Chains A and B, each alone.
Chain A
Amino acid sequence: MDNYYLGIDVGSVSTNLILIDEDNELVFKRYLRTQGKPIDIIKEGIKELSDEFGAKNILGVGATGSGRYLASIIVGADIVKNEITSHAVAALDYNSEVKTIIEIGGQDSKIIIVRDGIVVDFAMNTVCAAGTGSFLDRQALRLGIDISEFGNKALDSNNDVRIAGRCAVFAESDMIHKQQLGHNQEDIIKGLCSALVRNYLSNVGKGKEITSPILFQGGVAANKGIKASFEEELNNNVIVPKNFDVMGAIGAAILGKKKAKSQGYTNFKGVDLYKNNYGVGSIECSGCSNICEILEIKEDNKVLARYGDKCGKWSL
């Protein structure tokens, strides 16, 4: 029987589940919308995995993304890793020469600088979500264009419009203004792509040495317009890996494989876990003025975890 390793990336917008084999080849991939209910979506993903694959020999599990701790509680992960390390691991597995990783997801954008196979520097967007997937989603919706078509439209433009990209709110009003002047849609979309790339490079990528090979991953890498704008701005080739949208999960699976092998067992609860009932309860602790919200995750009637308190008196 072949051995497989599971990677789960629970992000703000999407939840990705992937399965790799012993050679890190992807054999199963699900890209689901998190929709604010990560537990249900994780269960759904595991169910699809089980339907398609049955109870395969899953020997290691890694969890990543902002919901990584939650994912680990539900499925039993061998390793819980932050998104930066996971993305770097997957990128290095894809191309061991990689020097720069651009990752743009739903709420976060990151840059990871790699030299000789080690992460030497990284940065994430701070308090602004301009230029991330959620903003693009919203603009596509407003223009009545399917998000999967959005980037392609930009490629049709031959005269881009300048749009202020510093702040998502102002970018939007600038776009509306340009649209009311009568600019055509392709040009506006192209202008938006360039604005977002400028914003990324001057915020997240500021002061970083961006040298090739450059990998572009995360959900936004599907957008051909953004990729083209990056190539223009950087004057360099930008590579979008085949599984760009699930690179975090792939990295987690690779790390999970390594960990499970070194410890000699896996914590994975098996694909049947989707049959369990998971309940979430929350209470507001009134012990002090922090008024922490304590969350309790239950599997059937067993308390799996409790967290959210500053002082640790509830934590399990």
Chain B
Amino acid sequence: MKITFPHLGNVYIAAKAFLEDMGHEVIPPPVCSRKTLEIGTKFSPEMMCMPFKIFIGNYIESIQKGADTIVITGSCGPCRFGFYGDMQKDLLRDLGYDVEVIVLESPKEGLKDFKNNIGKLIGSNSLWSIGKNIKPALNLIKIIDELTQLSNKVRAFALDKKEVNKIMDDYYEEAVRVCGTKEITKLTRATENKLKEVKVDQSHSPIKIGIIGEIYTIIEPFVNLEVERKLGDMGVLVEKSLTPTKWFDHHVYSYPFGSKEENLKFKLAKPYLKTMVGGHGRETIGSAIYYNNMGYDGTIQILPLNCMPEIVAKSILKTVSKDLNFPIMTLVVDEMTGEAGYMTRLEAFVDLINKRREEMLIG
């Protein structure tokens, strides 16, 4: 069994390590690139949302490198992600690829299926064994997310932004080469120390922007045109409203009650949106209010073209922005790789916030 999976931001590092610990050979997909998008667009339904297309590109690139088993997570609720697994299985079969697709549904969709599918990966169906083996992987996800956020912080203050970008690029490259959770943890810690040594401007008081939206779009740098890095290079301190750690906290660790932060966001969103609209629509609204309460200067919603839940959120965010007098900008991402218009919007948004700040300081 040569296992692969689609890219979800930095999750591939932990996923690879976990599956290697379980004794599998893992073929992570090459880093998302224009080629990935090209392949995905060619074989996907035209009106499908963007993550679907990139996933297909990831699978095919991995299959070409020898993968024969694909692991993906499932989802429920009114978002197309829920049928990615089945549709993609059919699509790959029609294209003539003979691969096994393992869909990991949330335990609430049926504990038996969940146990069986996980069981295929760790060679045991017992919940005890699942818990024991999954724990180091979840821990790893957490420290990798912490590293990513540390890089965002350091980048905002760094005298030479390129130094930070180089450290992170080297990390992502090296992470594919080392094996298992132990080694990756070591590498992550070492990178952390490197970041801490970057020369920073202590007197800099960065503007703070929260990145909100559907999880995939905000954690996968190729899809959001590296928004974290672009803002960081402008000296902005960025945080994402959703990370793999927060997702696991909410859906796995705190199951079935939900994590504190996510529940708070639901509560904050309530005056505007009482019910779930699929994907992360409700979280997006809650997060905007959350960042306002946390003293952030603004938020940016990243919306993959024709993503239904985010469209709902977008129209509500206008009211939120007005009620709270809080700058919110929506950026639509699609198959365009031209970055000029994107940069213009980011720069103008940062200008807008800086100007607001100046005015507030003067009184």
- A85 interface residue (CB < 8 Å to B): yes
Residues of B contacting A291 in the complex (Cβ-Cβ under 8 angstroms): 33-35
Main secondary structure of the interface of B (DSSP, over half): helix
Pair B351/A85 contact, Cβ less than 8 Å: yes
Residues of A within 8 A of B166 (CB): 312
With contacts A84-B348, A85-B347, A291-B35 taken as known, whether A118 is within 8 angstroms of B359 at the C-beta atoms is yes
* Chain A residues whose C-beta falls within 8 Å of the C-beta of B334 in the assembled complex: 127
Task: Kindly identify which residue among A82, A118, A120, A312 contacts B344, using a CB–CB cutoff of 8 Å.
Answer: A82
Task: Decide if B270 is an interface residue (CB 8 Å cutoff).
Answer: no
Check A108 against B341 for contact (C-beta < 8 Å). yes
Near B by CB (< 8 A), chain A positions 286-316 give 288-291, 311-312
| B349 → chain A closest CB, angstroms | 8
Contact assessment for B351 and A84 in the assembled complex, using a CB-CB cutoff below 8 Å: yes
Residue pair B162, A312 in contact (C-beta under 8 Å):
yes
Interchain CB contact under 8 A, B341 and A119: no
**Is the CB–CB distance between B341 and A124 below 8 Å?**
yes
Binary interface profile of B, 319-363, with partner A (CB < 8 Å = 1, else 0)?
A: 001000001000010101000110111011001100110010000
A83 neighbours in B (Cβ, 8 Å): 344, 348
Which A residues lie within 8 Å of B336 (CB)? Answer: 127
Asked if B206 lies at the interface with its beta carbon under 8 angstroms from chain A, I say no
Residues from chain B with a CB closer than 8 A to the CB of A312 are 162, 165-166
Give the number of chain A interface residues (Cβ < 8 Å).
23
- A120 surroundings in chain B (CB, below 8 A): 327, 352, 356
Min CB distance A101 to B, Å, is 12
User: Known interface pairs A119-B352, A121-B327. Does A289 touch B33 (Cβ–Cβ under 8 Å)?
Assistant: yes
Q: Interface residue count for B (Cβ, 8 Å)?
A: 30
B182 interface residue per 8 A CB criterion: no
Chain A CB within 8 A of B200 CB? no
On chain A, the residues within 8 Å of B165 by CB distance are 312
Residues on A with C-beta less than 8 A from B35 are: 289-291
**Least CB distance, B334 to chain A, in whole angstroms:** 6
Within B5-44, the residues touching A (CB, 8 Å) are: 30-31, 33-36
Q: Which residues of chain A come closer than 8 Å to B169, judged between CB atoms?
A: 311
Q: Which residue of B lies closest to A89 (CB)?
A: B351
- Cβ of B162 and Cβ of A118 under 8 Å apart? no
Q: Is the CB–CB distance between B33 and A82 below 8 Å?
A: no
Q: A289-B30, A291-B35 are in contact. Are A122 and B352 (CB under 8 A)?
A: yes
Q: Closest A residue to B346 by CB, please name it.
A: A82
Taking A289-B33, A312-B165 as contacts, is the C-beta distance between A124 and B318 under 8 angstroms? Answer: no
Q: Does B305 contact A (CB under 8 A)?
A: yes
CB distance from B158 to the nearest CB of A (A): 14
Contact between B348 and A290, CB atoms less than 8 A apart: no
Contacts of A122 in B (CB 8 A): 348, 352
Question: Does the CB pair B162–A66 fall under 8 Å?
Answer: no
A262: CB under 8 A from chain B?
Answer: no
Which chain B residue lies CB-closest to A209? B322
Contacts of A288 in B (CB 8 A): 31, 33
Q: Contact flags (1/0) for A52-71 with B, using CB distance below 8 Å?
A: 00000000000000100000
Which residues of A sit under 8 angstroms from B318, Cβ to Cβ? Answer: 207
Which of chain A's residues has its CB closest to B166's CB? Answer: A312
Complex: how many Å from CA A124 to CA B347? Answer: 13
Say yes or no: A82 contacts B34, CB within 8 Å: no
Residues of B within 8 A of A108 (CB): 341
Partner of A124, one of B321, B327, B344, B352: B344
Q: How far is the CA of A116 from the CA of B355 in the complex (A)?
A: 12
A72-105 to B contact mask, C-beta < 8 Å, 1/0: 0000000001111100000000000000000000
Q: In the complex, which of the residues B31, B348, B359 contacts A82, with contact meaning CB atoms closer than 8 Å?
A: B348
Which residues of A lie under 8 Å from residue B332 when comparing CB positions? 126-127
Q: With both chains docked as a complex, state the minimum distance between the C-beta of A11 and any C-beta of chain B, in angstroms.
A: 11
A238: min CB distance to chain B, Å:
23
Chain A residue, CB-CB nearest to B338: A66
- B352's nearest neighbour on chain A, judged by CB, is A119
Contact between chains at A119 and B351 (CB < 8 Å): yes
Is there an interface contact between B340 and A118, defined as CB atoms closer than 8 Å? no
Task: Please determine whether B33 and A119 come into contact, CB atoms closer than 8 angstroms.
Answer: no
Report yes or no: B31 in contact with A118, Cβ–Cβ below 8 A. no
- Contacts A/B (CB < 8 Å), 11 sampled: A82-B343, A82-B345, A84-B351, A119-B351, A120-B327, A120-B356, A121-B352, A207-B315, A289-B36, A290-B35, A312-B166
